[in-house]
Chain A
């Protein structure tokens, strides 16, 4: 039993001690398992029931879909009554463009701020750092004004621009920290060879930043994909709706159609979960960065 929960590598101890150890291990696993169930149950419940007929959803909510109860009508309704494909596409375009530009512009700015000494350097670094703590949302009134003046309301461009501004502070911070760890000799050697500053950055430094960029990408991507505030305010139009806003509006409209509601939630959940399970290793490594001993 013990081997199931803990590695066997510990030296064998007395019988009663081993018993206590196993008991402790069981208690630890009981707590972690309980919490894992609490964390997963609501999500699984939605996924399972989205595949069932309306009757089965209410009669046996905890049951898995069987041949009798399998019903994909909800998904049909969602795809029929709303432009889910378009919303997903919008979200994808906004997220990819914003994250890509945050990475590129963030790395360039971080390089300029950490590599070169110039007037106002510290002030600018501080200005970027402020953005980590002060939410960009507080400037919404003026952002909307600005977008109206630029004729960008109801365009994906408006969202991309705001999300770049939102993502840059953390990107500059994380990438600056990383750039500081790059050995000086590398840059000096390149400079001695007469390579231009542009080429040093794009050919030497940028490839080295890849691991830190993965972290930044994940941190930037999640809030953008999940955001409701800016799509609701800057781009609520049918054509520019993102998936989070699309689901919110759809569920609001068809509250009573349980099949459709559960299916729309499932459609919004599944892509994120699949991506998460693929990239969870990188993500967790990023979150616990520096913790690898």
Chain B
């Protein structure tokens, strides 16, 4: 611009940017920063909050009345995440590969129908599976008898040893459509020439997949993994809908989201505490941030070498 010194104040920029930015700052950025700040405060004698430094975190991580619950929730949350990584993403990959096969009939129908559960509320899905697995209704039980495994039926959602895995499987069942769609899209993006070249070079379909296609879709798989990580460490609804805020039996399904909710609002005899809740939220923030950083710094950089 030649007249930069005399340029009038760019009101139009303000006009376009301000409304959205203001709402984002006030209702997302500020609350997050304020939550981080609050995690350094505790209840004061006068009913207000007083600065207590790292005391909340020390309590959460070392005082056994709190730390038992915290480490339990963290461990369960990692278990929940690993169930998704071991099942949801590989199944999603398999379905995506099948869907991307050339000249497949009914492709769109399969795609639409398999993605359907993803659209529904986690709460609804939780209730549906609760009904199906209920020994009262007996759907799952009869099915198990039908395939000759009747003696292995148990009220999986009600047992300490199996409740979390069962909830993990329900969640996998619901969200398998997301990795399927994203990986499917990136498989379609692979130029035909590259695949043709490998076929001309004598590679069989499996070799083509593992040596040509897989390296090319690794960035998408990495992105799916980090999305899974963030979603799992932010999960709450499924556990709350099926097992309530107490995440029973005996906290065996407690994850960070439910722990955060209980700490903040209290339950039964325990009083809710905004500052302790903020401390749990801060730890969740750090965990998610660490995951995102690992993704950005390590995985993404390595994978870039494979990109075209």
What is A's interface to B at a CB cutoff of 8 Å?
4-7, 9-10, 28-29, 31-33, 35-36, 38-40, 42-43, 45-46, 57-58, 61, 105-106, 108-109, 111-113, 116, 118, 124, 127-128, 131, 133-143, 145-146, 161-162, 164-166, 168-169, 172, 196-198, 201, 222, 225-226, 228-229, 233, 244, 247-248, 251, 258, 261-262, 265, 268-269, 272-273, 276-277, 280, 284, 287-293
Contact = CB atoms under 8 A, between A and B. Distances in A.
B27 A229 contact: no
A43 B15 CA distance: 47
B20 A6 contact: no
Interface in B71-116: 91, 94-95, 98-99, 101, 103-106, 108, 110-116
A161 B23 contact: yes
A127 B33 CA distance: 13
B119 to A, nearest CB: 5
Given A138-B35, A146-B31, A228 B123 contact: yes
Interface in B204-263: 226, 230, 234, 236-237, 240-241, 257, 260
Contacts of A289: 185
Contacts of A111: 16
B173 interface: yes
B38 A35 contact: no
B104 A105 contact: no
Given A140-B260, A141-B264, A291-B188, 13 more contacts: A6-B104, A36-B113, A61-B137, A116-B10, A128-B24, A134-B289, A137-B234, A138-B282, A145-B274, A165-B28, A244-B123, A247-B127, A265-B127
A273 B103 CA distance: 28
Interface residues of B, number: 85
Ranked 9 nearest A-B pairs via Cβ? A139-B31, A105-B20, A288-B185, A226-B121, A142-B31, A165-B27, A112-B16, A109-B20, A142-B34
A105 B124 contact: no
Contacts of B23: 105, 161, 164-165, 168
B120 A141 contact: no
B119 A276 contact: yes
Contacts of B57: none
A142 B30 contact: yes
Given A134-B285, A142-B30, A198-B15, A32 B120 contact: no
A133 B137 contact: no
A135 B188 contact: no
B277 interface: yes
Contacts, number: 249
Nearest to A116: B13
A35 B95 contact: yes
B104 A42 contact: no
Interface stretch (B128-136, B154-162, B195-203): B128-136
B278 interface: yes
A131 B32 CA distance: 10
A108 B16 contact: yes
A146 B27 contact: yes
Contacts of A113: 17
Contacts of B112: 277, 280, 284
Given A116-B13, A198-B12, A290 B189 contact: yes
A141 B127 contact: no
28 contacts: A6-B105, A10-B103, A32-B110, A42-B128, A42-B173, A43-B128, A61-B138, A108-B17, A109-B17, A109-B20, A112-B16, A116-B10, A118-B13, A134-B289, A137-B236, A140-B260, A142-B32, A145-B274, A146-B26, A162-B27, A228-B240, A233-B265, A244-B121, A272-B121, A273-B119, A284-B111, A290-B189, A291-B184
